A = this chain, B = another copy of it.
Amino acid sequence: MTIRVGILGAGGFTGQELIGIFARHAQVELVYITSSEYADKPLAAAFPQLAHPAFGNLKFSKHPQVIADAPKLDAVFLATPDDASLKWAPEFLGAGVKVIDISGAFRLSDAALFKEYYGLEQTAEDTLKKAVYGMTEIHRGAIQKAELIANPGCYPTAAALPLWIYRDLIDFSKPVIVDAKSGTSGAGGRKEKDGLGYSTVYENFRSYRTAKHQHAPEIAQELSRATGVKVNLRFTPHLLPMYRGILSSAYAFLKPGKNAADFAAAAEKVRNETFLRARENVDAVELKHVQHTNFCDYAHFLDENTGVVQIVSAIDNLMKGAAGQAVQNMNLMFGIPETTGVI
Which A residues form the contact surface with B (CB < 8 A)? Answer: 13, 24, 48-49, 51-52, 54, 175, 177, 179, 181, 183-185, 190-211, 232-234, 236, 238, 240-245, 247, 249, 251, 274, 277, 281-293, 295, 301, 303, 305-308, 310, 312, 314, 339, 343
Q: Smallest Cβ distance from A320 to chain B, in angstroms?
A: 13
Instruction: Give the CA-CA distance A208 to B281 in the complex, in Å.
Output: 10
Name the B residues within 8 Å of A24 (CB-CB). Answer: 24
Least Cβ distance of A159 to chain B in Å?
A: 14
A13 cross-chain contacts in B, Cβ below 8 A: 199
A290 interface neighbour in B49, B193, B201, Cβ under 8 Å: B49
> B206 and A291: CB pair below 8 A?
no
Q: A54-B274, A192-B193, A205-B240 are in contact. List 11 more A-B contacts (CB 8 A).
A: A49-B291, A52-B343, A184-B198, A191-B197, A197-B198, A198-B200, A202-B202, A205-B245, A205-B247, A210-B282, A210-B283
A283 to B191, CA, bound (A): 20
Point out the residue from B210, B245, B249 that lies within 8 Å of A207, measured CB to CB. B249
A249 and B236 within 8 A (CB) = yes
Contact B207 A305 (CB under 8 A): no
Known contacts: A49-B293, A51-B277, A289-B51. The answer to whether A240 contacts B241 by CB under 8 A is yes
Chain B residue at smallest Cβ distance from A196: B198
Cβ of A247 and Cβ of B206 under 8 Å apart? yes
Cross-chain contact A243 with B204 (CB below 8 angstroms): no
> Is the beta-carbon distance between B205 and A287 smaller than 8 angstroms?
yes
Which 8 interchain pairs have the tightest Cβ spacing?
A192-B197, A175-B306, A206-B286, A204-B288, A198-B201, A192-B192, A179-B179, A49-B289
Residue from the list B191, B234, B244, B285 in contact with A308, Cβ < 8 A: B234
**Which residues in B have their C-beta under 8 angstroms from that of A175?**
306-308
